[in-house]
Amino acid sequence: MTVLTGAGISAASGIPTFRGEGGLWRHFRAEDLATPEAFQSNPALVWEWYDWRRQKVASCQPNVGHVVLARWTGQSDRCTVVTQNVDDLHVRAGTARLIRLHGSIWELACWSGCGATPWRDEHAPLPELPATCPRCRGLARPAIVWFGESLSADDVSAARRACACDVFIAVGTSAVVYPAAGLLQEASSAGAFTAEINTETTAATSEVDASLQGAAEVILPQLDERVTFRHQG
Ligand code: BV8
């Protein structure tokens, strides 16, 4: 089983989604700020947005949806979570097999490419904005995949391998951002039974084999009460 998650699984933790109400920051959309062009033209504004999100994430906890998926990956080595989220709540929930397609909001990289290895900085708020590279003292950037940037080839390969599964469930994603949104079709073409857990209908609703309309933090525990994983040797 492979579970693809989006911002909707973190909504119950108090983290605003991207495209729902409350998903906007001031009057900006994610696509306006999460791009290299936006950072190039106004690094201070983009850092202000990320620092605001980092502080929000730091004050939140994984919710029962994250906990159920972590438990499933612990109970079966045939269960993998692929997330679009950068909040690291799946990491904090202890998910055993996790592919983070878009990176982590806690990791930074050097904007000028001085060769510094991306580093983790969990200060919330950050001590200085814009953040700087500890190696060259130049501008640092969030080590996150922005719109128009390619995902890590290794992560994409791992996610595509995870599409060779019997069951593929998309949880809390509007299914509009590629290549993540394409994984559902890939799993379906590989013969997987596909399902969606979402409070609303999405671009994927007409594609999946089963649509479970409701909140992840309600439906996942209900499924968890009824599922037993065959013991994996
Ligand atoms: C790429 C990190 C190759 C940032 C993110 C033109 C030029 C260039 C590229 C493109 C282009 N046109 C299209 C593209 C491709 C583009 C793309 O898909 N754009 C979209 C907008 C059309 N993709 C890319 O650019 C990707 N790279 O293609 O590289 C390339 C390279 C160069 C040139 C061309 C191609 C990179 C995409 C990665 C972008 N980075 N995140 C950050 O977070 O700061 S994506 C961002 O959107 C987040 O990661 C987020 O996770 C993701 C998807 O959003 P969702 O998670 O689905 O969140 P959303 O709010 O939309 O939906 C929440 C859902 O939850 C809703 O359905 C709601 O109903 C539901 N919900 C709410 N509460 C609950 C719930 N469900 C259940 N329970 C609840 N309680």
Q: Give the number of other Cβ atoms within 10 Å of residue 173's Cβ.
A: 27
Under 8 Å between Cβ of 19 and 13: no
Whether ligand 1 lies within 6 angstroms of the CB of 144 is answered as yes
- Chain segment 39-90, per-residue pLDDT in tens: 999 999 999 999 999 999 999 999 999 999 999 999 999 999 999 999 999 9
DSSP 218: H
Distance of CA 6 from the midpoint of ligand 1 (Å): 8
- Name the active-site residue from 27, 66, 90, 102: 102
Q: Which domains does the chain carry?
A: 2-224 (3.40.50.1220)
Instruction: Indicate the SS3 state at residue 73.
Output: helix
Count the residues in the chain. 233
pTM of the entire structure? 0.96
Assess whether the C-beta atom of 15 lies below 6 angstroms from ligand 1.
no
Instruction: Match 């949104």 to its residue by tokens.
Output: 181
Q: At what angle do helices 153-162 and 182-189 cross, to 10 degrees?
A: 40
At residue 233, the pLDDT reads: 44
d(CA 179, CA 102): 11
Residues of the chain with pLDDT under 50: 233
Per-residue model confidence (pLDDT) at position 14: 95
Please tell me the predicted confidence (pLDDT) of residue 24: 64
CA angle 56, 176, 118 (to 5 degrees): 50
Q: Which ranges of the chain does DSSP label H, i.e. alpha helix?
A: 30-33, 36-41, 43-58, 64-75, 89-92, 153-162, 182-189, 216-226
For residue 176, report the distance from its CA to the centre of ligand 1, in Å. Answer: 6
- 231 carries an active-site annotation: no
182 lines ligand 1 (CB under 6 A): no
- For ligand 1, atom 73, name the residue with the nearest CA: 8
Residue 189's pLDDT is 97
pLDDT of residue 17: 87
Predicted pLDDT at 232:
65
Whole-angstrom Cα distance, residue 12 to residue 10? Answer: 5
Burial 10-39 (b: 16+ CB within 10 A, else e): bbbbebbbbbeeeeebeeeebebbbbeebb
CA distance readout (Å), 11 to 52, 74, 181, 223, 225: 16, 23, 19, 19, 22
| CB-side neighbour CA atoms (13 Å) of 231 | 1
